Amino acid sequence: MILPRYDRRCGWYEQLDFISDFPEVTTDIRVDVLVIGAGFVGCAAARRMAENRPDTSVMLIDAIKVGQGASGRNSGFVIDQPHKRDLESGDEQLKQKIVGLSRVALEYLETQIDRYGIDCQWSHAGKYQAAVGPRGRKHLDHYEALLKKGNETYRRLDKDEMREVFGTNFYSAAIHTPGGALMQPAALMRGLADHMPDNVQVAERTAVTSIARNKRGFEVRTEKARIQCRQLILGTNIFTAELGYMADRILPIMTFASMTAPLNNSQLKRYGGQLDWGITPADHGGTTLRMTQDKRLIVRNSYRYAHDYNTPQALIPGIAARHRDAFDQRYPQLNDVEFEYTWGGASGLSANFETYFGELEPDVFASCCDQSVGAARGTISGMMLADMACGKKTELLHDMQSVSGNPSRLPPKPLLRIGVPVRLAYERFASRSEV
């Protein structure tokens, strides 16, 4: 059984000033609801369950420290728009449901950030999508046409505006959509876990090794104890298969990021752009770029089939070199800026691009195959899993079910280990002008 582990490389987590500590489960315990995985899905599910049923005992556990997993490793976007595949769907009602659900998630997160004073660089900065060359501009033009069709607000930037915001002339075209937010993901995850309702217990470093059904519900074994519960909510995404569910349906793909040291005054002057923005590439194989509120630039590209769910150390130098090349192309004036961190973060894809949401079997609820849009999608999924587990039938839950599907079965793993790297290499070659 493969368990999550932390590699001490994630820049978001490593720069946290203060990290609280939740105990490991070391003695047998009984709770009403057990939520496994303290990422966006798990944190939202535990909170919502506690809000729905204040007299219910809820336990939220994670195999590592909260914020060290995939939810604390993303690029810090909370996106309200449908992802590329959903955006291209001809079903306008489906797209409006996705937007509506994502905006509920944004509001839910912001309410907690404001209430508890969570310091996570949260801002309504929106999102830029940018193109480098003809291939990227073709994708961007298509994106603009889809935004127009959906009556979504956006703004196309001219060359001077791009230079003023991004501090580089590298991009040939960009579009800004105002609805999303930016944040520091590891800080957000820690803040959410630190301020759970009174009827939620949080436990870290508590890896699940098996799940068995019995007359009283479920017996969940960890490395040191047993947890008895009536209902299970799984926010385990790529590790869901390790717990015996969704086997051969979740494709774990890892993408990599590098983060610079904070720019000093001289470097900021040479940079010449603004703080607090984020670019996603018009071509999905291109490079994501972030400038944080604390003056760090982040480059994300390069993909790997994460069959082992983790990042081999031997890959890091080569990936960092790719990031350095992408950075130097954009910012030749900043060749003295050093990368402090390089890390990988995995997301769950499916062969037919469908996300899963629902009841896997009686009293076992899960959301997985996030298709690389985990923050908003994970938050609303966790909320709605809790509603489903409580028997609440709402319009939001109906919408959540209608935008979810059934991930198709994947080929056998030996074929995946050959085919997926070949496909990723092809995509990297096709998108090389946009990286």
Q: How many CB atoms lie within 10 A of CB 54?
A: 10
The torsion angles phi and psi of 102, rounded to 5 degrees, stand at -65, -40
Amino acid identity of 224? K
pTM, rounded to two decimals: 0.96
Residue whose token pair is 């587990």: 389
Rounded to whole angstroms, how far apart are CA atoms 301 and 292?
A: 17
User: CA geometry: angle at 186 spanning 244 and 74, to 5°?
Assistant: 70
Tell me, what's the pLDDT at 339? 98
Tell me, what's the pLDDT at 85? 65
Tell me, what's the pLDDT at 308? 84
Rounded to whole angstroms, how far apart are CA atoms 155 and 260?
A: 29
Q: Which residue in 387, 426, 405 sits closest to 47, CA to CA?
A: 387
Give the three-class secondary structure for 308.
coil
Sign for the pseudo-dihedral over CA of 88, 89, 92, 94: negative
Rounded to whole angstroms, how far apart are CA atoms 87 and 90?
A: 8
* Contact criterion met (CB below 8 Å) for 185 and 121: no
- Distance from chain centroid for Cα 83: 12
What is the C-alpha end-to-end distance of the chain, expressed in Å?
36
CATH 3.30.9.10 positions along the chain are: 127-178+251-349+419-434
Amino acid identity of 49? M
Q: Which CATH class is domain 11-73+186-247+355-404?
A: alpha beta
- Helices within 2-133 (DSSP H only): 11-14, 40-52, 84-87, 92-116
Helices 185-194 + 40-52 axis angle, to 10: 30
Tell me, what's the pLDDT at 434? 87
| Contacts for 428 with CB less than 8 Å, ≥ 6 apart | 285, 302, 303, 435
Amino acid identity of 341? Y
Q: Which CATH class is domain 127-178+251-349+419-434?
A: alpha beta
Give the three-class secondary structure for 263.
coil
The torsion angles phi and psi of 83, rounded to 5 degrees, stand at -70, 170
Q: Which residue in 319, 379, 407, 353 sits closest to 40, CA to CA?
A: 379
* Contact criterion met (CB below 8 Å) for 230 and 216: yes
Tell me the longest C-alpha to C-alpha distance in the chain: 67
Rounded to whole angstroms, how far apart are CA atoms 128 and 314?
A: 33
* Contact criterion met (CB below 8 Å) for 234 and 364: yes
Tens of pLDDT along the chain (435 residues) come to 888 899 999 999 999 999 999 999 999 999 999 999 999 999 999 999 999 999 999 999 999 999 999 999 999 999 998 776 666 666 788 888 999 999 999 999 999 999 999 999 999 999 999 999 999 999 999 999 989 988 889 999 999 999 999 999 999 999 999 999 999 999 999 999 999 999 999 999 999 999 999 999 999 999 999 999 999 999 999 999 999 999 899 999 999 999 999 999 999 999 999 999 999 999 989 999 999 999 999 999 999 998 888 778 889 999 999 999 999 999 999 999 999 999 999 899 898 888 999 999 999 999 998 877 779 999 999 999 999 999 999 999 999 999 999 999 999 989 999 999 899 888 888 888 888
Per DSSP, the chain holds a count of helices (H) and strands (E) of 12, 20
* Contact criterion met (CB below 8 Å) for 147 and 93: no
* Contact criterion met (CB below 8 Å) for 12 and 293: no
Residue whose token pair is 């209902």: 231
- Distance from chain centroid for Cα 388: 22
Do the bridges between strand 208-214 and strand 217-222 make them parallel or antiparallel, or are there none, so unpaired?
antiparallel
Beta-bridge partners for 201: 59
CATH 3.50.50.60 positions along the chain are: 11-73+186-247+355-404
Rounded to whole angstroms, how far apart are CA atoms 178 and 277?
A: 11
Tell me, what's the pLDDT at 84? 62
What does each C-alpha distance from 25 to 2, 34, 66, 297, 433 come to in angstroms?
19, 12, 15, 38, 50
What does each C-alpha distance from 69 to 19, 39, 121, 259 come to in angstroms?
15, 7, 19, 17
Residue 222 host element (H or E): strand 217-222
